[in-house]
With several copies, the nearest count.
Chain A
């Protein structure tokens, strides 16, 4: 089957129009690009920083017609080069690559860690106002929490979103409290209105939201889902985190999808550098059903380094 849709395999130079500091180490770079702007949630681009490297980056939402963004955490050489790009400077972008989330209806749980939140943000824009969405996000410390307000905004901005949950979220997303009394899962504010979206934050050091990791409170959230069982869980972030989430979901019989990260060179299924067991992550994925992943011997355990040698996470 010939791949369809609009894909650009040659890197095209685009100019960064806006830069947002999300945390001291995370920035969002906004630009205009019709093709990237109309990508599906979970797709990624190959982003070339001239003179430096080319890196895979999830495609982030941005307001404004034909606009898109990347949100990058400064880490090694390549990500730092991208992080340092300033407004008015150019990078070159090809893609979008990979599949996208199978966006179900109903009660959805989105769990992200760090820049793993990026594809989840675009996912939110593809849900319906009726869908009841919980976003669970983890960070090391309060300083490193980002996208919490954006997540609330996106939840309430869903077309025709009925329940005025924006203010509630605005005040509540930062507390990250949740109650599970009487088997009731309820989100902090005490509001009587049916909430169609909530954002829960955890930090390892407890400086913001719930102390601990997202995986620590996952069981509680899934167990006490007052509004009924979750219809689907979507996750993107460190693989060890995703591994736990997929196991939890499958224990509860909940449909789950996770987005994998691997070494990427071509992004289109030629070079093989992203192989994970039988899966060609850039093309078959990056998003896989939990059931499929649990059958993949490498998921949660190993990735391939630049030489293609399997390496433990």
Chain B
């Protein structure tokens, strides 16, 4: 899979405009993951859909609003220069096949199957929690994409053992795993005495989930050895990124940190990783992947 660097834009973050992708790529993003796309356009939930928790944490229930696979494919068709990973969400193998077909003429470096969104019915985690369905969908997606692009499966903490989801994804032929998505959460306002998000439940992201995400990456790496992992969840700086790599990730994705930092955060994390490797005498990033497993 072509990446221009180890720091990748996470799905759902600024992920609906090709012009924005160009800008992020110039700022140092090794690739961009699109907003999760569905078969037809979705408007998502009503606001409030995203709120900050003033501790580096964010809660969102955007409801997977997206322009749909077809519109999106039309938008990115001209692109050749930016490594775009297309995130897809759906309930059945047929839906995923349908969507992948739409990207036939696009330069897609990979598909990321969102099996972990924690706040939309029938998709995301509700798929991820069903290993048989995961296996079936991944198999179909692999077939549909053929040799054109590898398939990543994005997992999260649902109501089953996420390691079973990873196992099923690998059985189905997944080329890599992205871990993790947001964690189902909620905010209630004491003064107004009601849930804040219009959907009541949303996903927690940002700094608060880092220790949980790091553990998942470590557990996947120690259980499934060779499968490449994109680490995601609460990464705010180069040190966090290095921790995920040491835990077993080959690349990282960042999202919520963009609520607090400018887009040049990509470049700064890249620089931080490079300086770290020089200081530690590590030649290739690959040499530090999973290094903390051995201690």
A residues sitting closer than 8 Å to B (CB atoms) are 1-3, 8-11, 13, 46, 48, 50-51, 53-55, 78, 90, 92, 94, 264-273, 275, 277-280, 297, 304-309
Task: Tell me whether A275 and B14 are in contact (CB under 8 A).
Answer: yes
| Interface residues in B45-65 (C-beta closer than 8 Å to A) | 46-54, 58, 60, 62, 65
Query: Given A1-B262, A278-B19, A278-B23, are A307 and B68 also a contact pair (CB < 8 Å)?
Result: yes
Q: Which residues of B contact A8 (CB under 8 A)?
A: 52, 54
Q: What are the residues of chain A within 8 A of B260 when measuring CB–CB?
A: 2-3, 268
From DSSP, what is the main secondary structure of chain A's interface residues? loop
Q: How far is the CA of A280 from the CA of B258 in the complex (A)?
A: 11
The answer, yes or no, to whether B43 is at the interface (CB within 8 Å) is yes
Q: Which residue of chain A is the closest to B23 with respect to CB atoms?
A: A278
Chain A residues closer than 8 Å to B68, beta-carbon distance: 307, 309
B19 contact set on A, CB distance < 8 A: 275, 277-279, 297
Tell me if A307 and B42 are in contact (CB < 8 A). Answer: yes
Given contacts A11-B196, A278-B19, contact A308 B255 (CB under 8 A): no
Question: Once the chains are docked, how many angstroms separate the CA of A8 from the CA of B53?
Answer: 9
With A13-B192, A92-B192, A94-B52 known as contacts, the answer to whether A306 contacts B65 (CB < 8 A) is yes
How many A-B pairs with Cβ below 8 Å? 143
Say yes or no: A278 contacts B17, CB within 8 Å: yes
Complex Cα gap A304–B192 (Å): 32
Residues of the B chain whose Cβ atoms lie less than 8 Å from the Cβ of A268: 50, 52, 259-260
Contacts known (A10-B53, A53-B198, A308-B35); A266 close to B16, Cβ less than 8 A: no
> When chains A and B are docked, how far (Å) is the Cα of A264 from the Cα of B51?
12
Contact in complex: A53, B46 (CB < 8 Å): yes
Chain A residues near B35: list those with CB within 8 A.
272, 308
Q: Does B139 contact A (CB under 8 A)?
A: no
Cα A90 to Cα B279 in complex, Å, equals 14
Q: What's the Cα separation between A1 and B58 when bound, in Å? A: 19
* B261–A1 CB distance below 8 A: yes
5 nearest CB pairs, A to B: A9-B52, A13-B191, A54-B47, A266-B50, A307-B41
B54 touches A9 (CB 8 A): yes
Beta-carbon contact of B259 and A9 below 8 Å: yes
**Best-surrounded residue of B19, B48, B54, B67 (most CB of chain A within 10 A):** B48
- Answer yes or no: B295 CB below 8 A from chain A CBs: yes
Closest to B42 in A: A307
